[in-house]
Amino acid sequence: MSVSASPASPSVSPGTTTAPAGPSPAELLAFVRATAADTALVASLPLDPEGRTWTRLDGPAGSEAWLIGWPPGTGTGWHDHGGSHGAFATAAGVLKEDSLAARLPTEGWKTLELAEDVDRHRVLEAGDARAFGEHHVHEVRNESDAAHAVSVHAYYPPLPLMRRYSRTGPVLRLEEVELPEEWQ
């Protein structure tokens, strides 16, 4: 008797298992959108008038997820997500995102001069969301003078680290590498 596998079925040797791939950026995007629409959850986040606040959430399929409150005038600064892909959605208020449309090397440099055409800008109002890949470098800000913003973020794999950057004009400089124990 012969057995054939369909092309969509990967072959697995007896005694081996394949690890789940985790949620895709599209699945994380669906999660952050649905979570941002949960008005009771969003309203439960304590908001601080001066500093960002956050609550860890159960993300889908082993992902890391956060509900974050942004007082007026706060932001993240330039950073990446240590090789994780992710998504975020604005649940309340308005957030602005500046990002780089360039794949940066993750090691072996301290300062890079960016080309003129790599900057991207987005405004994400309540209900807006976006997904991003594993090489995404960005900064997110609440530029309001008076209103808090609230957002939902999800990452897979869970953040192994975050690289923090400073930027002066076209020059991006690696400033520090944060490990999870520094933000959890």
Burial annotation 118-150 (CB, 10 A radius, 16+ → b, else e): eeeeeebebebbbbbebebbbbbbbebeeebbb
Residue 75 DSSP one-character state: B
Find the length of the chain: 184
Give me the pLDDT at residue 6, please: 30
Q: Which parts of the chain register pLDDT below 50?
A: 1-13, 16, 18-19
pLDDT of residue 5: 32
pLDDT at 106 (0 to 100): 83
| pLDDT tens, position by position, 139-166 | 999 999 999 999 999 999 999 999 999 9
Beta bridge partners of 69: 53, 150
- Would you say residue 13 lies in a domain? no
**Residue 97 is part of which domain span?**
25-182
Residue 133 CA to residue 136 CA, distance in Å, equals: 6
* CATH number of domain containing 141: 2.60.120.10
Domain-embedded: residue 6: no
